[in-house]
Amino acid sequence: MTKRRVAILISGRGSNMAALIQAANAPDFPAEIVLVMSNIAGAGGLESARAAGIETATIESKPFGRDREAFERAMQDELLKHKIDLVCLAGFLRLLTPWFVQQWDGRMINIHPALLPSYRGLHTHERALADGVKIHGATVHFVIPDVDAGPIIVQGAVTVHDNDTAETLGARVLQVEHRIYPQALRMVASGQASIHGGVCKSTTATASEKTLISPSF
């Protein structure tokens, strides 16, 4: 099996990155993490990536100011240098231009802390609580030029408790993120997930019949 070469792009603590690195340690995992790249110098995740023996790169976005494409061209050079096949965004806090997204069309995935298409954008847990939804979760999706949109690969749901705060709810969702991101990468890297008519279908996964009802008595 030739493993797909993966770069993870981060801006912060990198807990999803760590989950991907750990999953990719399994011999049968169809992808290897060869590069972790950050747009923020000193992002916490860089340290843990290095501790895991993964090569890191920092390309600060700030000096590029509004010239997003120049920043992305610098990232692109680094990605090409490492012969990257797939890009995983994991808490990467930069909007991407259509140019960059096009370079990685069908080969770049992102994790978002909400059940898309609900709660695109920021502060997803606060907004879910304000709406009083009873089920919330996380989504891994292919990246398209629109932010927090694109064919959905995997979703994971959690119940919302009456006494939840954004922190407690966010922590519950994060646990799910750490499960679904490795699963989604496995599906994409092995070719089990593919896009048909703008929608992602899985060739092998069998849908579970489990139902989540919230609240339940």
Binding mask 96-125 for ligand GRF (x = CB under 6 A): ---------------xxx------------
Least Å distance between CB 13 and ligand GRF? 4
Task: Check residue 177 for interaction with ligand GRF (CB under 6 A).
Answer: yes
Cα–Cα distance for residue pair 152/191, rounded to 1 Å = 15
Among 4, 6, 40, 91, binds ligand GRF (CB under 6 A): 91
Binding mask 8-47 for ligand GRF (x = CB under 6 A): ----xxxxxx------------------------------
CB 71 within 8 A of CB 61: yes
Cα–Cα distance for residue pair 61/49, rounded to 1 Å = 20
80: Cβ contacts below 8 Å, ≥ 6 apart = none
Beta-strand relationship, 31-38 and 56-58: parallel
CB 88 within 8 A of CB 4: no
Number of amino acids touching ligand GRF (CB under 6 A): 12
Task: Check residue 148 for interaction with ligand GRF (CB under 6 A).
Answer: no
Determine the number of helices (DSSP H) and then strands (DSSP E) in the chain.
6, 9
User: Would residue 178 show up in a list of annotated catalytic residues for this protein?
Assistant: no
Q: Is 16 annotated as a binding residue?
A: yes
C-alpha pair distances (Å), 152 with each of 80, 123, 162, 196: 26, 20, 28, 12
Q: Is 95 annotated as a binding residue?
A: yes
| Single-letter residue type at 113 | P
Q: Give the residue with the Cβ less far from ligand GRF, 4 or 112.
A: 112
Burial degree of 183 (CB within 10 A; 0-12, 13-18, 19+): middle
Among 9, 87, 90, 128, binds ligand GRF (CB under 6 A): 90
Least Å distance between CB 119 and ligand GRF? 11
Active-site positions read: 112
Q: Which residues bind ligand GRF (CB under 6 A)?
A: 12-17, 90-91, 111-113, 177
Residue set of the binding site for (6R)-10-formyltetrahydrofolate: 68, 93-96, 110
